[in-house]
Amino acid sequence: MPQISSFQIFAILFPTITAIPYIISSKILADVAAQNSWLAALAALIPGALAVCSYLFILKNSTSPFPAMLEEHLGSLPGRLLGFVYIFVFLFSTALALRTFVDFAISHVMPGIPISVMIFVTLLPAFCAIRSGLETFARVAEIVLLMAFPLAVLILLLTLQPQANFSNLLPVYADFYDLGRGSLQVLWLLGSMVVVLTLGFYADDRSRIPASVFSVLIFSVLFISFTALISIINLGPAMSTVKSFPIFSMARAVNIGGFIRNIEIILISIFVAGIFIPITLKWFMACYTCQHVFRLKGHRFLAPPTAVIIGFLSVLISPNIHVLFVILKTAAPAFFVFFYVVIPVLLAGMLLFKSLIIKSKT
């Protein structure tokens, strides 16, 4: 059985949540909550903490990893049926992450490269990681985190030019409807932490998982909020909404004394490294869920056929980048919040209710 440390859990979960928002969330959040987008991201801390508490409570009261725990708590047939649905949820999630990256790459980095080639090249390292096993993937995640995260923050700081306008943040007011919609945009990303229900069982020290998961929550929310804040200060809410990838535009515009410039290549490098983590993790979860639902002897042999599904599904998800952004702004949050947050919270509530009944009887 593979063993991973609590830091490796952090190293896997943090890029899984923040890799895609680093590029797109400032646009989507500005579209929903305008100059208060950074506040909306911060507000997601509250429902995010509720979700994390639910995950930890389920983890504490389960003897088997997700999705086998669904059978343990809901019964054999409902648990396996729900597990079967989760296979496709994870496959869809992988395809969506892949398509977001591919659209960014072929529209801003390498225009002219066929989308099929881009998909193949992106899936190849993830395929190798799944075949190599969880421990190898966790070690790669550590390296990616230590190399990419400081550079990601550095790029955000470098984009703060002298012409940055802090008055773009005004007026600061609490329109609770927009704030709630903005929080939902971050909550579905935080919901990716549901994988801790599986990873937690492979931890070498389970007592350190809560600290690790709460660190991921706080750092992720701060990072997404900071990204949105920088985008609003530099571009304003209107321009942040118009640009497809605001952070990329800002990185391209960096010019410090004519000496530090063209740093967008660093941004691309760290994004390519970062996107490897969510794609691999969600793909691994799809194969792992499949292994438990069908009671198979392994999950690695499922990587090749699911690769074909993910590859073609990522193309079929949307006809163009505009529709992709509409999906990311509207359908994806509702869909993933239901599967990653609502169902685990309901499951935790059910477990709590059961334990209270048992206590009252004794």
Partner 1 sequence: MVITLFVFLIAAVVLIDAPELYKKRMYKELAVFVFFLLIGLYLGMVQLFGWPFYNPVVDMIPALE
Instruction: List residues near partner 1 by CB under 8 A.
Output: 290, 294-298, 301-302, 304-309, 311-313, 315-319, 323, 326-327, 329-331
203 forms bridges with which residues in the sheet?
4
Residues 6+ apart with CB under 8 A from 164: 233, 234
Query: Nearest approach, Cβ of 301 to partner 1 (angstroms)?
Result: 4
Which CB, 217 or 290, lies closer to partner 1? 290
Q: How far apart are CA 76 and CA 69, in angstroms?
A: 10
d(CA 327, CA 3): 37
How near is the Cβ of 188 to partner 1 at its closest, in Å?
15
Q: Closer to partner 1 by CB, 121 or 316: give it.
A: 316
Per DSSP, 4 falls in state B
Q: Which is nearer to partner 1, 74 or 315 (CB)?
A: 315
- The CA–CA distances, whole Å, from 116 to 108, 121, 123, 268, 325 equal 17, 9, 11, 19, 20
Nearer Cβ to partner 1, position 75 or 305? 305
Contact between 235 and 243 under an 8 Å Cβ cutoff? The reply is yes
Question: Minimum Å distance from CB 242 to partner 1?
Answer: 16
Tokens 């056929």 found at: 305
To partner 1, the closest distance from the beta carbon of 315 in angstroms equals: 6
Look at residues 194, 230, 190 and name the one whose alpha carbon lies nearest to residue 43.
Answer: 190
Give 56 or 324: the residue with its C-beta nearer to partner 1: 324
202 contacts 45 by C-beta, under 8 angstroms? no
Instruction: Give the nearer residue to partner 1 in terms of CB position, either 317 or 321.
Output: 317
| HSE value, Cβ hemisphere, 13 Å, CA-based, for 119 | 20
**At closest approach, how far in Å is the CB of 99 from partner 1?**
12
Minimum distance, C-beta of residue 338 to partner 1, in the bound complex (Å) = 15
